[in-house]
Amino acid sequence: MQRINELHPVNQDFEPEFYQDLHTDLMFLNLGPSHPASHGTLRTLVALDGETIMSAVCEIGYLHRGFEKTAENRTYDQVIPYTDRLNYVSAIMNNVGFAKAVEALIGVEITPRCMGLRVIVSELMRIVDHLVCIGANLVDIGALTNFWYLFNKREQLYDILDKLTGARLTNSFTRIGGLARDTYPGFEDEVLHVLKEFEIAVLDVLKLVARNKIFLSRTQGVGIISQADALSYGFTGPCLRATGIPYDLRKEFPYYGYENYQFEVPVGEVGDTYDRIMVRFEEITQSIKIVRQALKVLPGGPINSDDKRVSLPPKDQTYVNIEGLINHFKHIYEGIKIPPGEFYDATEAANGELGFYIVSDGSGNPYRVRCRPPCFTIFSAYPDLIEGGLIADAIATLGSINIIAGELER
Amino acid sequence: MHPLLERLQSQFGDNILETTEGRDMPVALCKKDVALKVLQFLRDDPEMDFNLLTDLSAVDYLNFPVKKVQRYEVVYHLHSLDKGHRLRLKVPVGAADLNVDTAISLWKTANWLEREVWDMYGIQFKGHPNLKRILNHIEFEGHPLRKDYPIEKRQVLTVNDSLMDEMDKRLKEKGLK
């Protein structure tokens, strides 16, 4: 009640005694699971006093498909399509994360061209992920036009991915030790063109929102999390950086030559919804820079490692000589044999640290695949973020922490 | 030996069962009873300074070719943002006494991560305020990531979770009820 009085001074005309006879009680309301503003199937039960959220609890699991159990019963190569479905907005980043963990576990070196291409495609996916997050978040707070500006450009990138990987959303682009296929002629020009389009989209949207009073008052000071709480809750990625901690795996533990690219890690100041959106905007710009640099230095050569343990033999070997045929057959039927051991490897995905902890028992199937999704730890802080605010603030906050149910619930 | 492991060993002696230098990060196995103390030391000691609990999961070694002393291992992945080092702490847990102390007092994120381990493996976390299923349905029977849970087993689940049990706890915490 106090907060409503602050927000709506008109109410203060009433004497406090006016409310005394009024019997008030907390009202319980389900936000979600099935509602456009809940971005997938997330259910939050809130206890309301007027429109203020006094207490909240979450229920997740609507999209649980048993990724980890399924992975234990597949060969390493067969797991890759399942990783697409983790964060389906930036599928290739999950492919890369899993392939990188398996390669590290075996100790296979991938080729320089493969590294370059993985960086390029990952950064493109990061841009798309942020475009989707920002676009959807702005729709939630009523700014619909931005959505079209951002999603039209995203569709242009999907045309490129369509040609490159054969699919729009679930690309399954990596293989253990390489990639599914090399680029097509004209790929670089098309990517450079779409990068320009992204820059236009970002500028257009920033023009609409950066000094827009409604946008600022809907996002600034909403859903604040302190640095200490963010660390305690295991935040990573843009949500952690929005609190002012410049932590990025691409800088801390560089992989795939990220140390050779010039880019900066944007940080926020207070860790509210506004900071999270603005950090994402800046990350789009930085990713565009990385893709441009990576395209310039993209080396030639093969995309697949010639290590017989992980790569399929070329087709002329498979069809002509017996060793090639056996190699192919064993690879497909029994899977890649990985010596017993365990490995944790993490990549900086669009939402934060995407980790895979793989335990191998020496057979062709992983003994245990643990996926450490960035969303899971972030979403566990959601009740703390929204309590004390209004329902509308809860919706704005949910959009800004970018929960993707596919990786939240695996 | 890795300096972090050396320091850990000198502090806890026999309670650290095994230390190995993995290719990804140093690994320590510790006794169940001191797990919480070790975690506290890892978080608060200035040289360790592990301020981030990256991940908390478990592994069921039932069919593992190399026999383990205990069937389960609870696995903590720790990360120090300031020092830039990582460490994996494993706590063996046997089927007879299937519990570990909760780490919620150290990291808030342990709340949901421990609920997931309980859900998937049935490992109890002593002192956890709200140890209920998180990814699976409330009516679900068994713990699906255990190696003896058949992957093709299906269950019919019908009841909705009102969530009022959790809500009541939270309202009481906040003094609203």
Is residue A88 included in any domain, yes or no? yes
Chain B residues with beta carbon closer than 8 angstroms to that of A410: 135
**Torsion angles phi and psi, residue B96, rounded to 5:** -70, -35
Residues A32 and A157 reside in one and the same domain: no
Number of domains in chain A: 2
Contact yes or no for A374/A236 (Cβ under 8 A): yes
Tokens 């023009």, residue?
A207
Is residue B163 included in any domain, yes or no? no
**B40 lies within 8 A of chain A by CB:** no
Mean pLDDT of B122-144: 89
| Cα A92 to Cα A110: distance, rounded to the nearest angstrom | 17
- How confident is the model over A102-150, as pLDDT tens digits? 998 888 888 999 999 999 999 999 999 999 999 989 988 888 888 888 8
CATH number, domain with residue A372: 1.10.645.10
| Cα B36 to Cα B103: distance, rounded to the nearest angstrom | 7
- Which residues on adjacent β-strands are paired with residue A27? A48
Supply B1's token pair: 């030996």
| DSSP calls for A194-235 | HHHHHHHHHHHHHHHHTT-HHHHHHHTTSS---HHHHHHTT-
- How confident is the model over A240-275, as pLDDT tens digits? 999 988 888 888 888 888 888 999 999 988 888 999
DSSP letter at B79? E
Q: Is the pLDDT of residue A17 over 70?
A: no
Is the model more confident about A309 or about A70? A70
Contact yes or no for A80/A57 (Cβ under 8 A): no
Backbone conformation region of residue B170, classed left if phi is above 0, alpha if psi is from -120 to 50, else beta:
alpha
pLDDT recorded at residue B113: 92
- How confident is the model over B62-115, as pLDDT tens digits? 888 888 888 899 999 999 888 888 899 999 998 888 889 898 998 999 999 999
Is residue B51 included in any domain, yes or no? yes
- For A8, the domain range is 2-59
- Residue A48, classed as helix, strand or coil, is strand
Q: Is the pLDDT of residue A333 over 90?
A: no
CATH number, domain with residue B80: 3.30.460.80
Contacts of residue A341, defined as CB under 8 A and 6 or more positions apart, other chains included, come to A105, A359, A360, B23
Tokens 């008052």, residue?
A217
Residues A55 and A200 reside in one and the same domain: no
Residues A22 and A97 reside in one and the same domain: no
Within 41-100 of B, beta carbons closer than 8 Å to A belong to 51-55, 57, 59-60, 63-66, 75, 77, 81, 84, 86, 88
Residues A206 and A89 reside in one and the same domain: yes
Q: Is the pLDDT of residue A39 over 80?
A: no
Contacts of residue B78, defined as CB under 8 A and 6 or more positions apart, other chains included, come to B39, B42, B43, B50, B52, B53, B54, B86, B87, B88, B89
Residues A50 and A92 reside in one and the same domain: no
Is residue A87 included in any domain, yes or no? yes
Q: Which of A356, A355, A359 is nearest to A341 (CA)?
A: A359
**Distance of residue A154 Cα from the nearest chain B Cα, in angstroms:** 31
Percent of chain A with pLDDT over 90: 27
Supply A361's token pair: 């028992």
Number of domains in chain B: 1
pLDDT recorded at residue B117: 92
**Which of the residue ranges A129-133, A183-187, B122-126, B162-166 would you say has the lowest mean pLDDT?**
B162-166
| Cα B134 to Cα A297: distance, rounded to the nearest angstrom | 46
Q: List the single best residue of B170, B171, B172, B174 to mutate versus A (max A Cβ within 10 A).
A: B170
Is residue A167 included in any domain, yes or no? yes
pLDDT recorded at residue A191: 92
Contact yes or no for A270/A223 (Cβ under 8 A): no
Gyration radius of chain A over CA positions: 24
Chain B residues with beta carbon closer than 8 angstroms to that of A73: 151
Percent of chain B with pLDDT over 90: 18
DSSP letter at B31? -
Cβ within 8 Å, pair A357-B144: no
Cα of B137 vs its chain's centroid, Å: 21
- How confident is the model over A59-114, as pLDDT tens digits? 888 889 889 999 998 888 889 999 988 888 889 999 999 999 999 888 888 899 99
pLDDT recorded at residue A8: 56
At residue A389 the predicted structure's pLDDT band, cuts being 50, 70 and 90, is confident
Residues A113 and A224 reside in one and the same domain: yes
Supply A359's token pair: 């335990």
Is residue A65 included in any domain, yes or no? no
At residue A282 the predicted structure's pLDDT band, cuts being 50, 70 and 90, is very high
Q: Which amino acid is at B78?
A: L
At residue A290 the predicted structure's pLDDT band, cuts being 50, 70 and 90, is very high
- Which residues on adjacent β-strands are paired with residue B125? B100
Query: Dihedral of CA A210/A211/A213/A217: which sign?
Result: positive
What average pLDDT is seen over chain A? 87
Is residue A325 included in any domain, yes or no? no
Q: Is the pLDDT of residue A215 over 60?
A: yes
Within 108-167 of B, beta carbons closer than 8 Å to A belong to 108-109, 111-113, 116, 120, 133-137, 144-145, 149, 151, 161, 163-164, 166-167
Gyration radius of chain B over CA positions: 18
pLDDT recorded at residue A193: 92
| Cα B171 to Cα B164: distance, rounded to the nearest angstrom | 10
pLDDT recorded at residue A169: 87
What average pLDDT is seen over chain B? 87
Q: Which amino acid is at A294?
A: A
Is residue A326 included in any domain, yes or no? no
pLDDT recorded at residue A291: 92
Q: Is the pLDDT of residue A7 over 70?
A: no
**B22 lies within 8 A of chain A by CB:** yes
Mean pLDDT of A33-50: 83
- How confident is the model over A162-207, as pLDDT tens digits? 999 888 888 888 988 888 888 989 899 999 999 999 999 999 999 9
Is residue B166 included in any domain, yes or no? no
Residues A166 and A38 reside in one and the same domain: no
Tokens 């959106």, residue?
A277
Residues A196 and A289 reside in one and the same domain: yes
Q: List the single best residue of A227, A243, A368 to mutate versus B (max B Cβ within 10 A).
A: A368
Mean pLDDT of A307-321: 83
Is residue B129 included in any domain, yes or no? yes
At residue A19 the predicted structure's pLDDT band, cuts being 50, 70 and 90, is low
Tokens 């706890």, residue?
B169
Q: List the single best residue of B85, B149, B163, B173 to mutate versus A (max A Cβ within 10 A).
A: B163
Q: Is the pLDDT of residue A288 over 90?
A: yes
Tokens 């005694």, residue?
A17
Is residue B69 included in any domain, yes or no? yes
Is residue A31 included in any domain, yes or no? yes
Is residue B142 included in any domain, yes or no? no
Is residue A205 included in any domain, yes or no? yes
Residues A134 and A250 reside in one and the same domain: yes
| Cα A108 to Cα A89: distance, rounded to the nearest angstrom | 28
| Cα A124 to Cα A194: distance, rounded to the nearest angstrom | 10
- For B23, the domain range is 3-136
| Cα A340 to Cα A367: distance, rounded to the nearest angstrom | 9
Contact yes or no for B39/B76 (Cβ under 8 A): yes
At residue A4 the predicted structure's pLDDT band, cuts being 50, 70 and 90, is low
At residue A279 the predicted structure's pLDDT band, cuts being 50, 70 and 90, is very high
Strand boundaries in A82-219, DSSP class E: 174-175, 178-179
Residues A54 and A79 reside in one and the same domain: no
| Cα A274 to Cα A268: distance, rounded to the nearest angstrom | 9
Is residue B22 included in any domain, yes or no? yes
Residues A51 and A79 reside in one and the same domain: no
Is residue B151 included in any domain, yes or no? no
pLDDT recorded at residue A356: 92
Q: Which of B138, B93, B133, B92 is nearest to B115 (CA)?
A: B133
Residues A232 and A192 reside in one and the same domain: yes
